[in-house]
Every structure is written in C-alpha cells, then in structure tokens.
Amino acid sequence: MKSILTSVLLIVLLSCNSFGQSCNCSHEFNFVKAKIEKNYAGFKDKVNDRTSADYDKWTRSALKRSGSMATPAHCLFLINDWLTFFRDGHIQVGRNRISKEREGADLKQRIQGMESLKLSDDDLAGLKNAKGITGIYWDDDLTSRIAIIRSKTSFRDYAGVVISSKAGKWLPGQVVLELKSGKHTLKGLRYDKYYIPENVSLPIKDDALGEFKREGSERTSAEPIPEATVSSKALSSKTLCMKISTFNQVNASNIDSLFKANESNLSNMPYLILDLRNNGGGADFSYKAITPYLYTKPMRLIGADVLAADDNIAGWTAIATTNGMPADQKIFISDVVQKMEQHKGELVSFSEDRDITFKSVLPYPKKIVILINKNCGSTTEEFLLMAKQSDKVILMGGHTAGVLDYANIRGADFSCMPYMLYWATSRSRRIDQGLAIDNVGIRPDKYLSPQQNWIEEAKHFLENNFN
C-alpha cells in the first residue's frame, strides 16, 4: 500500500472546500439549531424536564467542535451527528427539491467542493489482492466500483475513491467515503448521488464494509428489486404482482392508471402481491386507488396535529402550489394554514381521527401479501397501519423504517452551505395513545431473509395456503 500513498495526486479546491469569512461552521450550526427548536413538531417531546440537561450538554459539545470544522462536508458531519439526539428519520439534510434553479447552483458548488485522488494502474493492481480493510469494493446497488485506501488526515484514516460509476452518479477519482477506524466499525461520511455527505457506520466483515461488498465476493440478495415507479405482472392464473416504488404525489396518477389497467385481473384473480419494498412514502392521497381492494371492515385512522410556527406556515403555503396537487388537497391545506395563522406557536389539528368505510367488500382479491422492508417509511407506514386492519392482508418481509410519528416534512435552505434542512411539522396523536412506531417500525406477519426470493415466497405462500 505504500505505493498508493506515494503516487496519489491530491487535488484540494480550497476556494470551494473551505469556509469564507461570512460562512463558518459555528454560524451554520446555530442556524440549524434555531430552525429545529422553533419548527420541529417533536421538539418538546424530545427535550423535556428529563432530557434537557443532556440536550444542553450535547449542544455545547457540538458548538465547541464546530469551530474546528474546516470544510462544509465535515461541518455537515457534525450537524448530522448533533441531529441524532432527536432520533427522528424525518429530520434530514438533503438537496433543494423546491427550486430547480437553486438546486442547480447548489449541486455545482457541491461537485466543485469534492476532493479528488488519482490512482495509478499499479495502485489498483495492488488493491485487488489487498487484505484487511483496503481493497476494491462495489456499492450496494452494484453501480459503482470503489477503491478503499489508507489516507490519514485529522478527520479520517481511510478514503473511498471512485474507480468507475454509472453515468450521472459519481466521477472517477472523487472521494465519496471518509472513514475513521473503530473496534468493529468504520465511522465517517459517505456522499450520496446528489453529492451530499451523510453520516455512516460500516461494520467490518470478511468480505464487506457495511453494504460495500469486496470485489469477487458473492451477493447476499436472491433477487434484484425493480426500480420502476409502478409495474405489474401476472405470475400465474391465480396471482397478480404489482410494484409501487413511491407514494410521491407525482406518482399518484401512475398508481391510478396501474389499477385501472388491471381492473380485470383484480376482479378475477384471487391473490395479489403488492410490492412496496423501498417505498419511502409520499402523499396519503396517492394510495386512494388501492384502498377499496383492501377493505373488509371499517379501518381506523388516528389523526395528527401540526405546529403553527412561521417557517411551517410558509412551507405549507408553498406546498399548495406543487405540480400534481389535487384541488381538494389545495383547499384542505388552505384551511390548515388559516388555522395555523390564528394559533401561532401552538399545535393545531391537521387531521381528525376517522374511520374509512365502504358499502361492500370486493370478492377479489381474496388475499393480499404486501412486501415490506426497512426502507418503507412515512406515508407508506401510514398506509400499512390502515392495510393491516384488513382480514385480507398479510405483511411479509422485514420491519419498516419507523419514521411516522412526526411527519409532513417541510424545509429551508442552510444559511450559506449548499444544503437544505428538513424537519417534521406534524405530530401524530398515536403517541399519546401509546401506539408510537418511530425507531421501531411495523413488523411483518411473516419474516423473509435476504437470501430468499421474496416474490416467489409470497406466491408460494398464497397459492399453497389459501385454496
């Protein structure tokens, strides 16, 4: 490995990778802290008489460390670490999803700020048979080949350098991992496909670092998960499989079209597999077309309240102009905003507790398997809480993400770094009823292992147990 260290050409873009006088990490940290304290619907639950001393200590430590963070990426690492106090997947740092113009400028800045390392052919040849942590790895979706090398700085012990990647993801030479040694894990940051660093903890295994598999090792998953936003396939004369990758509001019309196109199959085939794996949520109205097929008895939905803070009011006002928003939803949001304006600083009713009822139960499908995994969250979990009340439904796979109790995220640009902060604006009344699911998730009725083909297992289960 010595040859790698001596032959690496390090390109550091100081003008983009370091802070200017008007933008420093301490300033950015205080900006994020203020946004969370004023707008996050779960703040008073998470910082209370029992936890306030721990919160103050955690915050003072983060603020002190922020003075030594010299790059936006390392500053974001610190901020993300501070945000873990709240243990809420609906507090996120990401890209600007509202303004394409602003996101374009931010993306350019993030790419310019990336560190690059050049590896020679000899370096790569030496890594092919490397032992221990260093070596050549594939990322989890097998789209990028990464060299893990020793590259010690005050922040890291190892760097992950892109050897090759699919078009539109990363560029060769970019450092997309910065990792510090631990006893059984490597901790640090990883860049996502939008060049936004996220904190990671990668368990050290014989042939893997977390989800990064060493080149030449075997895959553990028995099947790829389709990436199409919606799709359907008749697996047999009895079983129909339908895939929905997202409940995002822009996918709502696709979901409606999918169910209309399959009306005949849904009316005649006894079994349905609804594949929701990796569906991270979206908007509740997106699954409206599915609900009648699930129904066997009234399904109880527990409502939520929304925090009437100024940033939340602005966020909800803006969301009503989003493309694809149905007219009735715009009216609903306008009513909510009006209540928020009249009760600033309070939690006001966002949605009431209610029962969903239909006049009759559809004879088909008779049984429905819904496939779920750890990447199912938010609106998808809201859908599952409703669906699991049906006598038709069996949940199969793994437990869900557990990010629903505080929901309906809205966001704001960082004050000077090219990122956007998102937080939950609503609080479910399930919390007060002892029915919270955050950091627990929804458990399946039948667990499946990564080594199994989940579609085949669901088909076999349906066709052999419900004649």
Strand, coil or helix: what is 57? Answer: helix
Reported confidence tier of residue 168, pLDDT bands at 50, 70, 90: confident
Would you state the pLDDT for residue 226?
65
Reported confidence tier of residue 129, pLDDT bands at 50, 70, 90: confident
Strand, coil or helix: what is 27? Answer: helix
Reported confidence tier of residue 14, pLDDT bands at 50, 70, 90: very low
Count of all residues that appear for the chain in the document:
467
Listed ranges 20-24, 105-109, 322-326, 367-371; the one with the highest mean pLDDT: 367-371
Q: Residue 132: how many CB atoms within 10 A of its CB?
A: 9
Determine the Cα–Cα distance for residues 299 and 321; give it in Å rounded to an integer: 31
DSSP annotation of 132: T
The whole-number average pLDDT for the span 98-106 is 88
Ordered domains of the chain (ranges, CATH):
2-12+113-214 (no CATH), 230-402+441-465 (3.90.226.10)
Q: Residue 23: how many CB atoms within 10 A of its CB?
A: 15
**List of residues 6+ apart from 190 with CB closer than 8 A:** 160, 176, 177, 197, 198, 200
Q: List pLDDT tens digits, range 364-402.
A: 999 999 999 999 999 999 999 999 999 999 999 999 999
Q: List pLDDT tens digits, range 175-189.
A: 999 999 988 999 999
Sheet of 135-138, strand order: 197-203, 185-191, 175-181, 158-165, 144-150, 135-138, 212-214, 208-209
Joined together, the tokens standing for residue 27 give 């300033």
The whole-number average pLDDT for the span 432-451 is 96
